[in-house]
Amino acid sequence: MPRKLFRKYLPSHQSIRENRYLRFFGAALQHHNLWHLHRKSVAGGVAVGMFCGLVPGPLQMLSAALCAIVFRVNLPVAAIVTWYTNPVTILPLYYLAYKLGLFVTGSQSSAPPLLDLQLFYLPVMEWIPAIAHWFALMGKPFAAGLVLLAMILAVTGYLLVMAGWRAHVMLSWRKRRRSRIPPAPK
């Protein structure tokens, strides 16, 4: 079972309590749902990770960890699930969010503003303001679509984990029940 495999790599409560870098957080990291692998905690971690994965910028894992602490769901799962957004998937997801936002807000524009490809001629320190300006040009449709897409992905991830976990448990029960029934005599 994958749960036993993951349990081997998760830290124990004792190691978290004794870690000198984590003592700063005090009791916030002591809740059992943050580290245990059970159905609701993992499903919640997936939902938080899916939602926070669309946070623009490099703050995805940090926001997932903070949300996991607030909502008391599995912290490692929430942080790892944010990896579904990467340099290959982020632009299609943002484009989908923009299109979804256009549909929801009823805006007339059909294409996002072009990103000025002169970015590489700018000093690196000016890249972030240039990209932030580009996001601002996309405006309300992008912001609305991003939040809506994040919520759709979070709910879908939560429901899929709950259904998958239930199916796995039911199949395990059936397998165990079949193994207990003695074979019929011939």
What is the 3-class SS of 47-109, one letter each residue? HHHHHHCCCCCCCHHHHHHHHHHHHCCCHHHHHHHHHHCCCCCHHHHHHHHHHHHHHHHCCCC
**Residue 185 included in any domain:** no
Q: What is the pLDDT of residue 23?
A: 65
pTM of the model: 0.77
DSSP element (H, E) containing 28:
none
Structure tokens at 141: 């449709």
Q: What is the pLDDT of residue 58?
A: 78
The type of residue at 171 is L
**Residue 117 included in any domain:** yes
**Residue 124 included in any domain:** yes
Q: What average pLDDT does range 102-118 have in this prediction?
A: 70
In total, how many domains does the chain have? 1
Q: How far is CA 18 from the centre of its chain?
A: 28
**Residue 186 included in any domain:** no
Radius of gyration of the chain (CA): 22
CB-facing half-sphere around the CA of 85: CA atoms within 13 A: 25
Q: What is the pLDDT of residue 133?
A: 73
Task: Check pLDDT > 60 for residue 78.
Answer: yes
Among residues 104, 78, 82, the alpha carbon closest in space to that of 93 is found at 82
Q: Which domain holds residue 77?
A: 2-180
DSSP element (H, E) containing 9:
helix 2-9
CA dihedral over 63, 66, 70, 71, signed as positive or negative: positive
Q: How many CB atoms lie within 10 A of CB 33?
A: 18
**Residue 54 included in any domain:** yes
Task: Check pLDDT > 80 for residue 39.
Answer: yes
Structure tokens at 21: 């870098």
